[in-house]
Amino acid sequence: MRRDRRVKIVATLGPASSAPDVIERLFVAGVDVFRVNMSHTGHDAARGLVRTIRDVSDKHRCSIGVLCDLQGPKFRLGEFVDGRTLVKAGELFRFDQSGEPGTSQRVSLPHAPIFDAVKPGDALLIDDGKLRMRVIESGKGDIVAEVVTGGIMSNRKGLSLPDTVLAVSPLTEKDREDLDLALKVGADWIALSFVQRAEDVIEAKRIIDGRAAVLAKIEKPSAIDEIDDIIAAGDGFMVARGDLGVEMPVERVPGLQKKITRKARSAGKPIVVATQMLESMTTSPMPTRAEVSDVATAVFDGADAIMLSGESAVGQYPVETIQMMNRIAREVEHDPSYDTLVHAIDLPPVPTGADAIAVAAHAISDTVKVAAILCYTATGSTALRVARERPNLPVIGLTPIARTAQRLTLVWGIETVLTGDPEDLADMVRKATRIAYEGNFVKPGQGVVITCGVPLGSPGATNMIRLAFVDEHGLPDGHVPEYVPVGGKVPVDKRPPPKLAP
């Protein structure tokens, strides 16, 4: 199922898209990675969704990624005497830990860490920012705030604290149970909510222990302040524009999206742009022009993936939304200005052997005008380094490990093929050219660039690059054509990708 685009599409599953036939239609329409939102998905349902995704993958003989999104800490008000109350701008309002029903002057807030962390001047946002307050006084068990933007407050509405760094883990007890389930069912990526600092990502990675990759969601101002350290710690990142736009001025979000995208690309780690990309298609068969431009901007910026949330989870037109996103992405990538704009970001060279090989592969492909770059990879890191350069031709990741292939479904431009490790260097070239030929990536007379590590099969040892031209049999020029590839299913290593040495 080869895609005619480089950017990947992530779709959230939900009531509108959980049936097996709909999941298959979404995949055929263009989905590369399915997101299971653990905020709204029970464990039995999650098991069934992952099982269906793997069945679709087996049926179509290609890799599909699974992203499990953890809920993270949620802070909510207590309840009110009458279920709701009106607060007016300029009034003072008190939060306490009494547990008593609230009134128009106060409400209980059952989250002790907040009382220890807030300080005068901090903002309090209620109900996705519809109501705004500013802390006047804070002490043991009480917070007094001035109402800046008034309105109706009701039972259990959410509370956000954009100016406050809380001494809480991003993993609640529910998250730890959900994470355990996600790892047992073989999720490829774990999306981590409520990331405030790099230590939050490191804590999650310590628990996961290489069994899945960690996608840090950038949704809090404190994460922006520590973005360089978070990018160094994470495996991938999501610009969670919904929560980011609640906790920060919305006019800052476009610039932050570009900043985070640029930093993630520079680090050679996948970046996902999410939230409200085609929001109107939740209820309409056509998007707005502004939404089309929004999707196009992310593609022009070279994001690895673009994500749909409610549009595919609860929308009336989930398949049509995927088809529309696919058409927008393809149109952008075929635009004459695409190559110039996607390479407008200056990526400083990284002084490692693998990065030198990746840069050389890109340079050779531009100079010789080959048809594809093929990367033998056990962990996926070699393919990631090549994708960092955003070459203007297909990048094929060759791996014997199914989990590596599934993780790479989130990465820009990479097509993954499961294949056994080559026996020697000659076999390495034969396998690569044959796969490129049979996949219609290359025609007789065209060339391919092949990267690998010697000794063969050694993770993290990319140190060789080979240029080969393909003959009429799909084999490297000069090869005796009696070579016949082994038919049937490729034996695949089911273990997680091996860890790279630090």
Round to whole Å and give the CA distance between 57 and 35. 15
Asked whether residue 306 falls in the same domain as residue 450, the answer is no
Instruction: State which of 136, 160, 184 marks the end of a domain.
Output: 160
Do the beta carbons of residue 419 and residue 397 sit within 8 Å? no
Query: Do 68 and 105 have their domain in common?
Result: no
DSSP H helices, 195-309, are 198-208, 221-225, 227-233, 241-247, 253-267, 289-300
Return the pLDDT at 402.
Answer: 95
Residue 194 in domain: yes
Burial of 487: CB neighbours in 10 Å, binned 0-12, 13-18, 19+ = exposed
| Sequence letter at residue 342 | V
Beta strands in 42-91 (DSSP E): 65-69, 84-87
- My answer on whether 183 and 223 are in the same domain is yes
Look at residue 492 in the predicted model and tell me its pLDDT: 56
- In a shared domain, residues 194 and 126: no
The sign of the torsion formed by the CA atoms of 67, 68, 73, 78 equals positive
Q: Give the count of domains, the chain.
A: 3
Domain membership flag for residue 78: no
Residues 183 and 156 in one domain: no
Nearest to 365 by CA among 405, 400, 336, 392: 392
Q: Is the dihedral of CA 377, 381, 382, 387 positive or negative?
A: positive
Low-confidence ranges of the chain (pLDDT < 50): 480-490, 501-502
Which pLDDT score is estimated for 251? 96
Residue 493 within any structural domain of the chain: no
Assigned domain for 479 exists: no
CA-based end-to-end distance of the chain: 35
What does the pLDDT read at residue 221?
95
Q: 373 in helix, strand or coil? A: strand
471: left (phi over 0), alpha (psi -120 to 50) or beta: beta
Question: What's the CA gap between 298 and 238, in Å, rounded?
Answer: 12
pLDDT at 346: 80
* Residues 186 and 319 occupy one common structural domain: yes
Please report the pLDDT score of residue 2 as a whole number: 82
- The answer to the question of residue 165 being in a domain is no
Q: Are residues 306 and 184 in the same domain?
A: yes
| 487 found inside a domain | no
- What backbone phi and psi angles, to 5 degrees, belong to 18? -90, -15
Question: 464: domain range?
Answer: 353-469
Q: Supply 133's token pair.
A: 């307050």
DSSP result, 133-189 = EEEEEEETTEEEEEEEE-EEEETT-BEE-TT---S--S--HHHHHHHHHHHHTT-SE
Q: What is the pTM of this model?
A: 0.92
Question: Do 198 and 297 fall into the same domain?
Answer: yes
Answer yes or no: is 251 within a domain: yes
**pLDDT at position 462, please?**
79
Q: How confident is the model at residue 353, as a pLDDT?
A: 82
> What does the pLDDT look like over 233-273, one tens digit per residue?
999 999 999 999 999 999 999 999 999 999 999 999 999 99
Sheet holding 395-399, edge to edge: 414-418, 395-399, 372-376, 447-453, 462-469
